Chain A
C-alpha cells in the first residue's frame, strides 16, 4: 500500500523579538525583552575579559568561582541565602573571552536579583578564607575535568590549532589555580569586571523599557575604567601532522578535526552554516548516515562552527571504537571530499535550511532559550537583530553558494587533526592514511 505523506506548508520565518536597549554613559549596555508565559525573569551579564596567558586564565576561572563569595554587606552564605529566597539561581563562568553571569528569579524579584548583581559586580570582596576553600575545590574539579578524554581532546586540538594564542590555552592548570591568592583576584576583578564593555540582558515577564531603566539604575554602584581589551585575531595553523595523544587501554578514540571558519558577520556565513549542517550538523546529515547509520562506528558524529570573540572555527568530532579508528578516519576524509565533488543541493539543501531556521526559531520560545541566544550574540559582539538578517540570508542561499563555501572552508588540507586513544592499537590503523606523531597524555 502506498500512502501520501501529509503535506507541510512552509512555515513562516520566526519572529525575532524586539529588544529595548538602554545605554547609560559608562555602561553597561542593558537589553530587555518581554517574554511572558511563566512568571520568571532571566538575567545574563557578559563581561569581556580575554585571558592572555595560562596564569591569567586560571585567575579568571577562580575569580568566576569566587565572585559570589562575599561583598562588604554579606558573606557567601548571605549571598546564597539571598538567591534562594527569590527563587533564584546565579552562576558565574569563565571562557577564554570573558565572564558570563547567568541568573534567574521569580519575576517579582527582578529588583532583588539586579540589586544583588550590582552589589557583586561592584564590590565582590573575595574573602581570604573563601579563596583558600574555593581554589582547592577548583583544583580538584580541574583534575576531574582533565581526566575526561573529551577534555583531553579539546585541549590538545586548541593547542595544536592556535599555538600560543589565547585560544590555544585550554582548561586551566589545576596547580596554577591552587596557588592564586586574594590579592590577585581583587586585581583581576578591577582589571576586567568593568561596566564599560559589558552587556546586561533581561528576558521575562517584565515591561522592557521600565526593566531596562531600573536594571541600569540598580547597577549604578558598579564602576570602573575602560573595557578590557579583546583577543587579537588568531592565526590558525595548518599543514601539521596528525597528532595522536596516547591513552593506553582506551576502548574508544576521540577523533577531532578543526579548521578556520567564517564569523557570523560574514556574507558567506549562511551558506557555510548550511554546508556544515548537511555535512554533520544534524541527524539527517552525511556523517550520521555514513558513520553511524551505515557503519555503526560511532554514536554521534558531529560538525559545527564554534564562535569566539576574535574568530570562528569549524569543529568535527567522532568518538569511535578503537578497532575501527582507521576506517572511521578514512570515511571522514571521504565525506569531506564528497562535499566538494557532490555538494548539497535540492532537497538536501532545503532540509538543512528549514532545520536551521526552525531550530533557531524554537530556541527563542522560552525565556532561558532567548536569554541564551542573546548572551551568545553579545559575547560575539552581535545583537539580536543579527538573527533577522541571518534568516533572510539563509533564505537566499543557492546550491552554488554552498558548493563554494564547502570548497573553501571544508578542505581537508586546512584541517588540524588530533586523535586521543590507545596509540599502540590505533597508530598501525592510520598507516598510509596520515602522517602521525604520538604524544604522551
Chain B
C-alpha cells in the first residue's frame, strides 16, 4: 500500500482563523472550503431548522456582493459552489479554475466579515427551505428516514433529538434579529477553518489569505457546550408512520464511544459496517436478504451522515442499520438477526472477512480524497473536529491496521448500551 503524502501547511491568522493549505499541481483548479463550528445541535429551542436556514442566508449577499452575485461570480468564472449543514458544522465550498483562487478567497472573506440581511431575502429563503423540506421529506416515501426520526428516538436533549430541517412553524418564526445574533455568535473567524486545495504556490496563497481574511475583525468565539447525554439504560422501541411508503422499514440505532476519545474504535466501526452489511456475502445481508428473504435491502453506517474513515461529528453520535422489508412479520427476525450478528462479531471476527472489509473501506477512502474538492471536504472537518488535518494521510494506515480483535472490540462497544428500534410503518 503506497502511503498518501498530500502536503499540509497550517497557519493561524491573528483574528483566530485556522488555515489549512494543501498544494497539488496535478490539475489547474483549486477548491476552497470554509467550515464554521456550528450546526443544528446549536440552534435554540423554538428555532429548529435555523442553522440550515442561516446557511441559505449566507448566499443572499455579503458586504460587497449583492444577492445572486456570489453564484454569478463563481459559476461565471467556470466554478461551482454549495454549502451544507450537519449536526456539528456548517460548510461553504467552491471549486474554481486556479486563476480564480483570489476571487474565491475574496468571496468567502466578504461574507465572513458581514452579510446583507433583509426582510425580503429572509422571507424568500424561508419559502425556498420549505420547498426543500417538502421535496426531501414531506412529498416522498421514506423522506428523512432514518436521520431525522432516529435522532428523535435515540436522544433525549433538545440539541441531539430535534429535527435539523426544522418545523414550518419554527422556520416561519425566524426573524432578522435571530439571524444577526446567530451570525455574530457563531460566524466569527476564530470559530472557522479555511481549507484550500489545488494548484497554487503556498507562499502566494498565504499572502492572498492574509490580504482577504486578515482584515476580518476578530470576534468573541463562543464556548462550545458539551452535548453529551448518557446512553439509554433500556432498549427503546418507537414508530414513525409514513403514509406514502408502500412497504415498511426499520432503523436500529446504537450509541458509539465519543469520536474525540480515540480514533481506533471509530475506524474499526467503519470496517465493521462494511463487514456486516456491505456486500452480498456480508453476514447480515446474506442472512436477511439472500437466505431467508426477510429483507429487501440492508445497510449499516457510522454517524448521522456517513463520514470518511472517521465520523465528521462529535459525541454523542451513532451507528445504525437500515433494513427495508415487505412483510410485517419479518420485523422480529430482522431485529434478532442484527443483534445476533453483532454478538457473533463481539465474540470473534474472521481474518478473511476483516481483510476484505478493510480493502473496501480503504478503496472508498482513496476515491474520496482523489478530487480536490472532496479532499478539501475531508481535510477541513478533520482539522475542525480533531485538530489534525494530517489524518488525511494517516487514515490509510489506520484502516489497514484494523484486525479481527479491533472489530470485536468495536462490536462490543456497540453492544455496551441497549439499541433503539425505530419502525417505519406504512399507515
B80 within 8 A of A: yes
8 A Cβ contacts from B27-81 to A: 27-29, 64, 67-68, 71-73, 75-81
In angstroms, Cα B246 to Cα A146, docked, is 9
**When the two chains form the complex, which single residue of B29, B105, B125 contacts A361, counting CB atoms closer than 8 Å?**
B29
Q: A11-B99, A252-B135 are in contact. Are A357 and B78 (CB under 8 A)?
A: yes
B344 within 8 A of A: no
Instruction: State how many angstroms separate the Cβ of A44 from the closest Cβ of chain B.
Output: 14
In angstroms, Cα B142 to Cα A136, docked, is 20
B77 close to A354 (CB less than 8 A): yes
Query: Which of the four size classes fits the interface of chain B?
Result: 35 or more
A87 close to B363 (CB less than 8 A): yes
In angstroms, Cα B59 to Cα A293, docked, is 10
B128 close to A296 (CB less than 8 A): yes
Instruction: State how many angstroms separate the Cβ of B387 from the closest Cβ of chain A.
Output: 25
8 A Cβ contacts from A119-175 to B: 133, 136-137, 140-141, 143-144, 147-150
B68 close to A321 (CB less than 8 A): no
The stretch among A258-266, A364-372, A428-436 that forms the contact with chain B is: A364-372
A116 within 8 A of B: no
In angstroms, Cα B71 to Cα A339, docked, is 21
Instruction: State how many angstroms separate the Cβ of A250 from the closest Cβ of chain B.
Output: 6
**When the two chains form the complex, which single residue of A3, A148, A347, A365 contacts B29, counting CB atoms closer than 8 Å?**
A365
**Can you name the residue of chain A whose Cβ is closest to the Cβ of B244?**
A147
**Can you name the residue of chain A whose Cβ is closest to the Cβ of B369?**
A38
8 A Cβ contacts from B284-318 to A: 286, 289-290, 293, 296-297
Q: A250-B139, A319-B134, A319-B139 are in contact. Are A296 and B123 (CB under 8 A)?
A: yes
A88 close to B360 (CB less than 8 A): yes
Instruction: State how many angstroms separate the Cβ of A34 from the closest Cβ of chain B.
Output: 12
A440 within 8 A of B: no
B370 close to A38 (CB less than 8 A): yes
Residues in A whose Cβ lies below 8 Å from that of B87: none
Residues in A whose Cβ lies below 8 Å from that of B127: 295-297, 321
A80 within 8 A of B: yes
Residues in B whose Cβ lies below 8 Å from that of A298: 128, 131
Residues in A whose Cβ lies below 8 Å from that of B129: 299
**Can you name the residue of chain A whose Cβ is closest to the Cβ of B82?**
A283
A84 close to B76 (CB less than 8 A): no
A37 close to B29 (CB less than 8 A): no
Residues in B whose Cβ lies below 8 Å from that of A369: 371
**When the two chains form the complex, which single residue of A86, A141, A252 contacts B297, counting CB atoms closer than 8 Å?**
A141
A218 within 8 A of B: no
Instruction: State how many angstroms separate the Cβ of A420 from the closest Cβ of chain B.
Output: 10
8 A Cβ contacts from A364-391 to B: 365-369
Count contacts on A: residues with CB < 8 A to the other chain: 78
**When the two chains form the complex, which single residue of A11, A77, A86, A295 contacts B97, counting CB atoms closer than 8 Å?**
A11
A148 close to B99 (CB less than 8 A): no
**When the two chains form the complex, which single residue of B78, B130, B141 contacts A354, counting CB atoms closer than 8 Å?**
B78
Instruction: State how many angstroms separate the Cβ of B348 from the closest Cβ of chain A.
Output: 19
B103 within 8 A of A: yes
**Can you name the residue of chain A whose Cβ is closest to the Cβ of B275?**
A84
**Can you name the residue of chain A whose Cβ is closest to the Cβ of B104?**
A6
Q: A8-B77, A136-B293, A365-B371 are in contact. Are A284 and B72 (CB under 8 A)?
A: yes
**Can you name the residue of chain B whose Cβ is closest to the Cβ of A369?**
B371
Instruction: State how many angstroms separate the Cβ of A86 from the closest Cβ of chain B.
Output: 7
In angstroms, Cα B367 to Cα A295, docked, is 39
B75 close to A297 (CB less than 8 A): no
B167 within 8 A of A: no
Instruction: State how many angstroms separate the Cβ of B276 from the closest Cβ of chain A.
Output: 12
Mask of A275-313 contacts with B, CB within 8 angstroms, 1/0: 000000011100011001111111110000000000000
Q: A80-B279, A104-B367, A250-B139 are in contact. Are A137 and B289 (CB under 8 A)?
A: yes
Given contacts A133-B290, A144-B296, 6 further A-B contacts (CB under 8 A): A84-B281, A84-B359, A148-B140, A292-B128, A297-B131, A298-B131
Q: Which A residues lie at the B interface, using CB under 8 A?
A: 1-3, 5-12, 14, 37-40, 68, 76-77, 79-81, 83-89, 104-106, 133, 136-137, 140-141, 143-144, 147-150, 250-252, 282-284, 288-289, 292-300, 319-321, 347, 350-351, 354-355, 357-359, 361-362, 365-369
Q: Which 4 A-B residue pairs are closest in the complex by CB-CB distance?
A: A358-B78, A296-B127, A351-B76, A11-B97
Please name 11 pairs of A and B residues whose Cβ atoms are closer than 8 Å in the assembled complex, sorted by A.
A40-B367, A81-B279, A87-B363, A89-B360, A147-B246, A296-B124, A296-B125, A321-B130, A355-B78, A358-B97, A366-B374
